[in-house]
Structure 1
Amino acid sequence: MAHYTLASRESKSDDTLIRLGELTLGGCEKLFIAGPCAVESRRQMLDTARLVKRGGAQILRGGAFKPRTSPYDFQGLAEKGLEYMAEAREATGLRIISEVMAPDAVPLVAQYVDILQIGARNMQNFALLKAAGRSNRPVLLKRGLSATIEEWLQASEYILSEGNQQVIFCERGIRTFESYTRNTLDLSAVSAIKALSHLPVIVDPSHGTGRREMVSPMSLAALASGADGLMLEVHPNPAEALCDGPQSLPPAEYLALMHQLRAMNAFLAKLPERAKAVGE
């Protein structure tokens, strides 16, 4: 038996479906999350939410609490940022996701968001994982910078063991010797998670590459690898972004990518029928 009992296919053979009202993540459904790295202002969030909605993504992302490498970088707007996100949800009907960084912040963030995000740096913050597991919100668990797939699965077990079965894995790249990209996007992890676990897995090509020009091809590759969805960084004006501007898609590129993703999704949905026809 695997050391991640509850997350493994040994305990549950069918795919877990995570429902957010009319939305479903897992199975044949694809979920697209888009928005800025950080919530910067009310106007920025409203403008971005309308753009995200127009492109067809169903969930708005935005960081209200930002764990930055340097303590001197922008750290987020805290609860005011969550209020701006909630207002954007009211204006557009989009669901919202934001990162939670500390166990005692889980109740506050859960009051506002539809999905709690555990960032890569907190993948093994076990007190935080347990607190998220005691919430009634789905939890998106990003892979740690240097985490193995088994360590990632074991981290999910902390959430599951607290009674929360709504866990979403997010591959966002790992640290390797390569310096051209921000991280090395490990799309093989998608196939591995699909084989080892019943839980859904999505891909974040923005953090996975750190390069805007690579987000679109890696997004298409992620869908082809079997990912249940994507998390994309989008900003109305990336040149002025307070966080992660170089990897954020401007409006035109985001809209073009979403058009490509819909076409790719439609093509992939027909593959089983085509394979059957060839076999006959």
Structure 2
Amino acid sequence: MIIVMQPGAPELEIERISDELRTWGLHPEKIVGQYKVIIGLVGETAGLLPERIQELSPWIDEVVRVEQPFKRVSREFRHGQPGEVTIDTPNGAVVFGEQHPLVVVAGPCSVENEQMIIETALRVKQAGAKFLRGGAYKPRTSPYAFQGHGESALELLAAARAASGLGIITEVMDTADIEKIAQVADVLQLGARNMQNFALLKKIGAQNKPVLLKRGMAATIEEWLMAAEYILAGGNPNVILCERGIRTFDSRYTRNTLDLSVIPVLRKLTHLPIMIDPSHGTGKSDYVPAMAMAAVAAGTDSLMIEVHPNPAKALSDGPQSLTPERFDRLMRSELAVIAQAVGRWPQVAVGV
């Protein structure tokens, strides 16, 4: 349930209403919009009559029920207003959201060595990326596959951050690792395999670093949004949703099926920013540029693209990784055209 205040409602009146609602056993959350303030109510509201709340103040414009099972995540919770996630990086603040320029995240699947990760960071930054992705801890289907270098790779990510000024996104697999990863990463990633790791979702929600939540490979949209609800319910509102392909009946020609239909669906259901990962979504570097352009045309807020200096020798996910040269061409000659056409290309020149 949400309370929409009239424009110009006094701050003291908003606080008075919130204090009163707390005595009812509810948890009011103030959301400041461009023109109005909204008070989101979390708690047992099923038996609560909107008319009773309306009587609390003449400054209340309307009281609306949130019908979706996911409450804080719902677009209704913000009265239709889009959300955004602002992240401070060494190069300045970067904003993810539908009213902001496209944000591109790029880098290798795994951090392999210092020279490789710093070289990649500098190359993707020059092409226009704002964040470096790189796995220190890697969930792999086979126990014999490369699992990442672990804690030592965090030091290499820190070195790449210092050298390039890019923000860092890396995956968390275990609740015990959250604190040390958060010391290096600007965004904590929950991968597809951990989308419904509820203990991890709760712990991630209890800390304040922004979270990138990837869709599970067989998850419905509602399951995905309910996973995000765990994080917001824990107190962390800064969540970005990442579609990375789902498992369907055909895996011969693509690694997964990249579900671009989630972009308009999520736009209707949630206020959270949207990211598309065409690298995992297709599994083949030849298909990544086309799907990246399609995602931008469909309205994504962000892209995550795997880039490796030598994909043929990558320790993980080489077949889906672009070379720095191909990534540069994608950014300058292909994505720039599409993003400019839909009004989502940064005004700052690429490479600056």
- The answer, yes or no, to whether TM exceeds 0.5 is yes
Partner deviation per Cα, 1:29-60 (whole Å, 9 max, x = no partner): 21100000000001110110011111100000
**Aligned residue identity for 1:10:** E
1:157 paired residue among 229, 239, 243: 229
2:248 paired residue among 176, 187, 203: 176
CA RMSD between the two structures: 0.9
Q: Residues 106-145 of structure 1: matches in 2 within 5 Å?
A: 106-145=178-217
Q: Structure 1: how far apart are the matches of 2:125 and 2:330?
A: 14
Judge conservation of contact 2:101–2:343 (CA < 8 Å) in 1: no
Partner deviation per Cα, 1:103-123 (whole Å, 9 max, x = no partner): 121111111100000000000
Higher helix share: 1
1:74 paired residue among 146, 166, 191: 146
Q: Structure 1: how far apart are the matches of 2:157 and 2:100?
A: 28
What is the aligned partner in structure 2 of residue 104 from structure 1? 176
Q: Does 1:167 align with 2:239?
A: yes
Partner deviation per Cα, 1:2-55 (whole Å, 9 max, x = no partner): 111010011112111111122111022211000000000011101100111111
Judge conservation of contact 2:284–2:320 (CA < 8 Å) in 1: yes
What stretches of structure 2 of length at least 5 have no aligned partner? Answer: 1-66, 345-352
1:16 paired residue among 65, 77, 83: 83
| Structure with more contact order per residue of length (Cα contacts < 8 Å, sep ≥ 6) | 1
**Aligned residue identity for 1:232:** I
1:25 paired residue among 65, 81, 96: 96
**Aligned residue identity for 1:78:** G
Q: Which moved more, 1:128-137 or 1:165-174?
A: 128-137
Q: Does 1:225 align with 2:291?
A: no
**Aligned residue identity for 1:116:** L
Q: Structure 1: how far apart are the matches of 2:179 and 2:69?
A: 29
Count, aligned residues: 270
| TM value normalised by structure 1 | 0.95
Moved over 4 A (4+): none
Q: Measure how far apart 1:141 and its partner are.
A: 0.3
Q: Measure how far apart 1:261 and its partner are.
A: 1.2
Q: Structure 1: how far apart are the matches of 2:143 and 2:227?
A: 26
What is the aligned partner in structure 1 of residue 338 from structure 2? 264
Larger radius of gyration: 2
Q: Does the residue aligned with 1:57 lie in a helix, a strand or coil?
A: coil
Q: Does the residue aligned with 1:80 lie in a helix, a strand or coil?
A: helix
